[in-house]
A and B are shown apart, each in its own frame.
Chain A
Amino acid sequence: MGVTRSLQDSVLVGRLEWFVNWARKSSMWPLGFGLACCALEMIAAFVSRYDLSRFGMEVARPSPRQADLMIVAGTASKKMLPAVLRIYEQMAEPRWVIAMGACACSGGIYKNYAVVQGIDRHLPVDVYIPGCPPRPEALLDGILQLHAKVMQEQSIRNPRITHIKAAPR
Chain B
Amino acid sequence: MNQESMKERLLSRFDRDVVTDAVEFRDQISLTVAKDQIIPVCRFLKEDPELGFDFLSFVAAVDRRPAEPRFEVVYQLYSIEHNHRFRIKALVEESADGSASIDSVVGIWPTADWHERETAEMFGITFKGHPDPRKLLLPEEWTVHPLRKDFPLEGTEQDTPDLPVKGG
Contacts and interface: CB of A to CB of B under 8 A. Distances in A.
Contacts of B162: 78, 81, 116, 121-122, 167
Interface of B: 137, 139, 144, 146, 151-155, 157, 160-164
Contacts of A94: none
Q: How large is the interface on A (under 10, 10 to 19, 20 to 34, 35 or more residues)?
A: 10 to 19
Given A78-B162, A81-B162, A169 B157 contact: yes
A111 B157 contact: no
A82 B157 contact: no
Contact of A111 (B137, B139, B153): B153
A167 B160 CA distance: 12
Contacts of A82: 163-164
A5 to B, nearest CB: 59
Given A78-B139, A79-B139, A113 B163 contact: no
B164 A113 contact: no
A112 interface: yes
Interface of A: 78-79, 81-82, 85, 111-114, 116-117, 121-122, 167-169
B163 A81 contact: yes
Given A78-B163, A82-B163, A114-B160, 19 more contacts: A78-B160, A78-B161, A79-B137, A79-B139, A81-B163, A82-B164, A111-B153, A112-B146, A112-B153, A113-B144, A113-B146, A113-B160, A114-B146, A117-B154, A122-B162, A122-B163, A167-B162, A168-B157, A169-B157
14 contacts: A79-B137, A81-B162, A81-B163, A82-B163, A111-B154, A112-B146, A113-B153, A113-B155, A114-B146, A114-B160, A116-B162, A121-B162, A167-B162, A168-B157
